[in-house]
Amino acid sequence: MGESTWLAERFEEQRPHLRSVAYRMLGSLGEADDAVQETWLRLSRTDPDELDNLAAWLTTVVARVCLNTLRSRQRRREEPLDIWVPDPVVSPAGPEDPEHAAVLADSVGLALLVVLDTLTPAERLAFVLHDMFGVPFDEIAPMLDRSPAAARQLASRARRRVRGQTPTPDADLARQREVVTAFLAAARDGDFDALVGVLHPDVVLRADGGATRARHTTVITGGRQVAAEATMFGRFSPFSRHAVINGAAGVVVVAAGRPLAIMAFTITDARIAEIHVIADPQRLALLNLTPFTT
């Protein structure tokens, strides 16, 4: 076996881990794949004899690539962060679907990804690598040109923000689906009181309608306000199909074989705390929604 073949095989073994790191760093499946590809290109130009620990080297490289992407994104982003909806991982089967198992290894929800996107690039890198993947701070520090103590402080600040802003989802997927079913039924029937009852008083709805559906790009907060919006959504309830989105209950809305929207729910104490909606046709086209449209 030649060196290039051996290196390619070792890289493929690490690919799921690298994609998982990149997805949590970027919240974008396309950008995560680009970061993994860039990591492979850098590896292919590296002498294998210089690599003492290939897995650690690859993690460092993909993290640096993601850090550069975050910094570039921060400079060019014009739209407010609070209307950004991360790329979802959608499955009709369940969180153990092999295709998504690596990305959903610890069920990183969309609510968490939204909060991660409010962190500075350095905070996000320190938190993701240390808290999610157990990378020591003395390995994180050189990536940020900081001391290990400074890297620890970055992760600590990020951790406090995550804990303060991310609702803790209920663990029982079947129970989550019951809550979503109740929400859909109330929306279909136009039952405002039932909707308010299934929503947390401080529920947040984030929706991305894209360029062609800009009026659907919005953030709505509060149980009664979100319930009012949901009554208008009610006509689509019969076209909603249950899905697992980032390890949690969600639905894909399909009409005439065409996906119209996806809705991801964060459910805490049997009530809906957050709803993330993507109705942007361009983004929907990039997702693997074929199982829902056939």
Residue type, 270: A
Q: Is the pLDDT of residue 63 over 80?
A: yes
Q: What is the pLDDT of residues 4-36, one digit of tens each?
A: 788 889 999 999 999 999 999 999 999 999 999
Q: What is the pLDDT of residues 108-134, one digit of tens each?
A: 889 999 999 999 999 999 999 999 999
pLDDT-derived band at 94, boundaries 50, 70, 90: low
pLDDT-derived band at 1, boundaries 50, 70, 90: low
